[in-house]
Amino acid sequence: MGLIASAAAHFGIESPEMRGDSFEKPASQWISPCAGVNQTASTNRTAWPLTGGAVSLDLHHPWGYVFVNLGIGTDYPSFNISLTPSLLNVTGNGTFCLPAVTLPGGVAISEGTNASIQVVTSGASGSALYNCADITFTSKATPLAADMCVNGTGVTGAIVDASQAQSAGSSTSSAPASTSSTASAASNVKSGSMVSAGVVAGVGALIVSWLL
């Protein structure tokens, strides 16, 4: 029962493939930067598009803040590139998928570059949980299919921002939009469009529903 409760309180990365099992000791998702799961010669690496790709998570908390960072390099890179510059609040247990996490302007990536993606979540306690996935940037990467990047039932995301926020390909709104209780496809969201200035918890939240 203790193991089940521990797993239920944590999260996983569904895509790209997670580096390793962070639910079993000696690993611990409380350990920065990658839950104590070390890179090895046989580390799983997922082919990822040169301009960015999908990130799909399996979340086990009723709500939490989600941050996605990038570290360029093969061996223990520094996760100094934010792929989600705005405060992203995700509500609901289950799959949450960002279909197009794009690289910030000025970040030049060449064919075959190795890197690692770090996902950090934080909830009501303020404590952070960590997981990592290792990737290789390549033009030969197959993007995650739309029907594989689908939010779970009742799972939605909100950009917490002082004024307005905008998702790529959709209009903005000054009031929270209604959410759907049915499964919705996480489409047309690019982290580069998230507003990074003036992010303050407790101020207005724009609910962004990722629908078909």
CATH code of the domain in which 77 resides: 2.70.50
**Residue 124 structural domain:** 2-208
Cα angle value 60/99/52 (rounded, 5°): 115
Distance CA 57, CA 207 (A): 19
Q: Which pLDDT belongs to residue 23?
A: 84
Q: Tokens for 196, please give them.
A: 């990074």
Q: Which pLDDT belongs to residue 99?
A: 94
- Report how many domains make up the chain: 1
Q: Tokens for 134, please give them.
A: 């290792």
Q: What's 160's DSSP letter? A: E
Q: At residue 76, does pLDDT exceed 90?
A: no
The mean pLDDT of 41-55, rounded to a whole number, is 89
0.85 exceeded by the pTM?
Answer: no
| Phi/psi at 192 (5° precision) | -65, -20
Residue 159 binned pLDDT confidence (cut-offs 50, 70, 90): confident
